[in-house]
A and B are shown apart, each in its own frame.
Chain A
Amino acid sequence: MSALAGKELRIVGFLCNWCSYGGADTAGVGRFSQPTDLRIIRVPCSGRINPLFVAKTLLSGADGVLVSGCHPRDCHYAEGNFYARRRLEVFKRLLPTMGIDPDRFEYTWVSASEGQRWQKVVTTFTEQIHKLGPAPRFGLAHEQNPATAAAC
Chain B
Amino acid sequence: MKIGVFICHCGSNIGGTVDAAKVAEAARAFPDVVFTSDTMYACSEPGQDGIIQAIKDNQLDGVVVSSCTPRMHEPTFRRTVERAGLNRFMFEMANIREHVSWIGKDKEANTNKAIELTGIAVEKLRQDQPLFAKQFDINKRVMVIGGGVAGIQAALDCADGDREVVLVERESTIGGKMAKLDKTFPTVDCSSCILGPKMVDVAQHSKIKLYAMSEVEEISGYVGNFEVKIKRKAPYVNWELCTGCGLCMEKCPSKKSKDRFNEQVGTTTAINIPFPQAIPKKAVIDPKFCIKLTKGKCGICAKVCPTKAIVFDQQEEIVSESVGAIVAATGYDLFDISKYGEYGGGRLPDVITGMQYERLLSASGPTGGHVKRPSDGKEPKTIVFVQCVGSRDKSVDRPYCSGFCCMYTAKQAILTKDHIPDSTSYVFYMDIRAPGKMYDEFTRRAMEEYGTQYVRGRVSMIYPKGDKLLVRGADTLMGTQVEVEADLVVLAAGAEASVGAPQLAEKLRISYDKYGFFMESHPKLRPVETNTAGVYLAGACQGPKDIPASVAQGSAAAAKVLALFAKDKLENDPMISFVDIKRCVGCGKCVQVCPFGAIKEVDFRGEPKAEVIETVCQGCGLCTATCPQGAIQLSHFTDNQILAEVNALCQL
Residue numbers of A with Cβ under 8 A of B are 1-4, 7-8, 10, 12, 17-19, 21-22, 24-25, 27-29, 31-36, 39-45, 47-50, 53, 56-57, 60-62, 70, 73-80, 83, 87, 111-114, 119, 143
Task: Report whether B622 and A83 are in contact in the complex, using a CB–CB cutoff of 8 Å.
Answer: yes
* A-B contact list, 21 entries, CB within 8 Å: A1-B652, A4-B108, A25-B69, A28-B97, A28-B99, A31-B102, A34-B104, A36-B112, A39-B120, A41-B645, A43-B637, A44-B575, A47-B625, A48-B622, A56-B646, A57-B650, A61-B650, A62-B646, A76-B532, A79-B595, A112-B519
Q: Is A60 within 8 A of B650, CB to CB?
A: yes
A43 touches B621 (CB 8 A): yes
Instruction: Name the contact of B113 in the complex, choosing from A24, A39, A42, A60 (C-beta under 8 A).
Output: A39
Contact B103 A114 (CB under 8 A): no
Taking CB atoms, residues of chain A closer than 8 Å to B637 are 43-44, 48
**Residue in chain A with minimal CB distance to B514:** A113
The answer to the question of B87 belonging to the interface, with a C-beta cut-off of 8 Å to chain A, is no
**Are A49's CB and B625's CB within 8 A?**
yes
Q: Known contacts A4-B112, A18-B531, A41-B645: does B595 contact A32 (CB below 8 Å)?
A: no
In the bound assembly, the distance between CA atoms of A32 and B105 in angstroms comes to: 11
Q: Does B512 lie at the interface of the complex (its beta carbon under 8 Å from any beta carbon of A)? A: yes
B506 at the interface (CB under 8 A from A): yes
Asked if residues B108 and A28 are in contact (CB atoms below 8 Å), the reply is no
Within the assembled complex, what's the spacing in Å between the Cα atoms of A1 and B509? 41
B98/A29 in contact, CB under 8 A: yes
Give chain B residues whose Cβ lies under 8 Å from the Cβ of A87: 625
Besides A24-B99, A113-B511, 20 new A-B residue pairs in contact (Cβ under 8 A), listed by A number: A31-B102, A39-B117, A41-B646, A44-B634, A48-B621, A50-B625, A50-B639, A53-B639, A56-B646, A57-B649, A57-B650, A74-B512, A76-B509, A77-B618, A79-B595, A80-B622, A83-B593, A83-B626, A111-B511, A143-B652
B513 lies within 8 A of chain A by Cβ: yes
Contact: B646 with A53, CB < 8 Å?
A: yes
A28 touches B595 (CB 8 A): no
B116 at the binding interface (Cβ < 8 Å): yes
B71 and A21: CB pair below 8 A?
yes
B511 partner, pick from A3, A19, A27, A34, beta carbons under 8 A: A19
Which residue of B has the minimal Cβ distance to A84? B625
**Residues B620 and A80 in contact, CB atoms below 8 Å apart:** yes
User: Chain A residues near B250 (CB, 8 Å)?
Assistant: none
CB contact under 8 A between A45 and B621, given known A25-B69, A78-B595, A83-B593:
yes
B110: Cβ under 8 A from any A Cβ: yes
The residues of B that contact A1 with a CB separation of less than 8 Å are 652
Question: Shortest beta-carbon distance, B595 to chain A, in Å?
Answer: 4
What residues of chain A lie closer than 8 Å to B512, measured between beta carbons?
Answer: 74, 111, 113
Q: Are B99 and A40 in contact (CB under 8 A)?
A: yes
Most buried by A among B109, B511, B512, B531: B511
A45 to B532, CA, bound (A): 14
B120 touches A41 (CB 8 A): yes
Contact with A along B597-622 (1 / 0, CB 8 A): 00000000000000000000011111
**Is B374 part of the contact surface with A, judged by Cβ < 8 Å?**
no
The complex places the Cα of A61 from the Cα of B624 at a distance, in Å, of 25
* A36:B113 contact, CB within 8 angstroms: yes
A42 to B104, CA, bound (A): 20
A113: nearest chain-B partner, CB-CB = B513
Contact of A25 among B98, B502, B642 (CB under 8 A): B98
Instruction: Report which of B103, B619, B646 forms a contact with A28, defined as CB distance below 8 A.
Output: B103
User: Which of A27, A73, A75, A78 counts the most B-chain CB atoms under 10 A from its CB?
Assistant: A78
The answer to whether A47 and B622 have CB atoms under 8 Å apart is yes
Residues of chain B lying within 8 A (CB to CB) of residue A22: 71, 511, 531
A104 to chain B, nearest CB (A): 13
B103 and A33 contact, CB distance less than 8 A: yes
- Bound Cα distance A28, B103 (Å): 6
The smallest beta-carbon distance between B92 and chain A, in angstroms, is 10
Q: Which residue of B lies closest to A14 (CB)?
A: B642
Contact residues, B35-87 vs A (CB, 8 A):
69-71
Contacts of A60 in B (CB 8 A): 646-647, 650
Cβ–Cβ contact B634 & A39, under 8 A: no
B651 within 8 A of A: yes
**Minimum Cβ distance to chain A for residue B447 (Å):** 37
- Establish whether residues A113 and B506, one from each chain, have CB atoms under 8 Å apart when the complex forms: no
Considering the chains assembled together, what is the distance between the CA atoms of A17 and B637 in angstroms? Answer: 12
CA of A61 to CA of B639 in the docked complex: distance in angstroms?
19
B580 on interface, CB distance cutoff 8 Å: no
Q: Specify which chain A residues have a CB less than 8 angstroms from the CB of B189 in the assembled complex.
A: none
Q: How far is the CB of A96 from chain B (nearest CB, A)?
A: 21
User: Is B106 in the interface zone, CB < 8 Å from A?
Assistant: yes
CB distance from A105 to the nearest CB of B (A): 14
B95: CB under 8 A from chain A?
A: yes
Chain B nearest CB, measured from A94 CB (Å): 16
**A74, B505: Cβ atoms under 8 Å?**
yes
8 tightest Cβ-Cβ pairs between the two chains A and B = A28-B98, A48-B621, A60-B650, A77-B620, A113-B513, A78-B595, A28-B102, A47-B622
Contacts of B596 in A (CB 8 A): 77-78
Contact among A28, A29, A35, A77 with B622 in the assembled complex (CB-CB below 8 Å): A77
B643: Cβ under 8 A from any A Cβ: yes
| One of B108, B649, B651 near A39 (C-beta < 8 A) | B649
**Chain B residues, Cβ within 8 Å of A50:** 624-625, 639
Residues of B within 8 A of A34 (CB): 103-104
Instruction: Evaluate whether A57 and B646 lie within 8 angstroms (CB atoms) in the complex, with A39-B117, A44-B621 already known.
Output: yes
Which residues of chain B from 628 to 644 have any CB-CB distance to chain A below 8 Å in the complex? 634, 637, 639, 642-643
Partner of B620, one of A24, A40, A45, A111: A45
Distance (Å) between the CB of A25 and the closest chain B CB?
4
| Closest CB in chain B relative to A93 CB, distance in Å | 18
Q: Give CA–CA (A73, B117) in the complex, Å.
A: 31
Nearest Cβ distance between residue A6 and chain B, in whole angstroms?
11
B614 to chain A, nearest CB (A): 16
Which of A10, A36, A49, A119 meets B109, CB within 8 Å?
A36
- CB neighbours (8 Å) of A28 from chain B are 69, 97-99, 102-103
Looking at the complex, which one of B95, B620, B639 makes contact with A47 (CB distance below 8 Å)? Answer: B620
Q: Which B residue sits closest to A23, measured CB to CB?
A: B511
Q: Complex: how many Å from CA A4 to CA B396? A: 44
Which of A7, A28, A61, A73 neighbours the largest number of chain B CB atoms within 10 Å of its CB? Answer: A28
Report chain B residues within 8 Å CB of A80: 595, 620, 622
A119 and B624 CA atoms in complex are apart in Å by 30
Complex contact B95–A40 (CB within 8 A): yes
Q: Once bound together, how far apart are the Cα atoms of A60 and B643, in whole Å?
A: 10
How far is B647's CA from A61's CA once the two chains are assembled, in angstroms? 10
> How far does the alpha carbon of A41 sit from the alpha carbon of B621 in the complex, in Å?
15
Q: Tell me if A7 and B109 are in contact (CB < 8 A).
A: yes
Measured CB to CB, the nearest residue on chain A to B625 is: A50
The CA of A40 and the CA of B99, in the complex, are separated in Å by: 8
CB <8 Å contact, B506 and A10: no
Contacts of A61 in B (CB 8 A): 650, 652
Task: Determine if B642 and A43 form an interchain contact, defined as CB atoms under 8 angstroms apart.
Answer: yes
B105 x A45 contact (CB < 8 A): no
Tell me which residues across on chain B come within 8 A of A10, comparing CB atoms. Answer: 649-650
- Which residue of chain B has its CB nearest to the CB of A27? B103
CA distance A74 to B509 in the complex (A): 7
Q: Which residues on the A side are within 8 Å of B519 (C-beta)?
A: 112-113
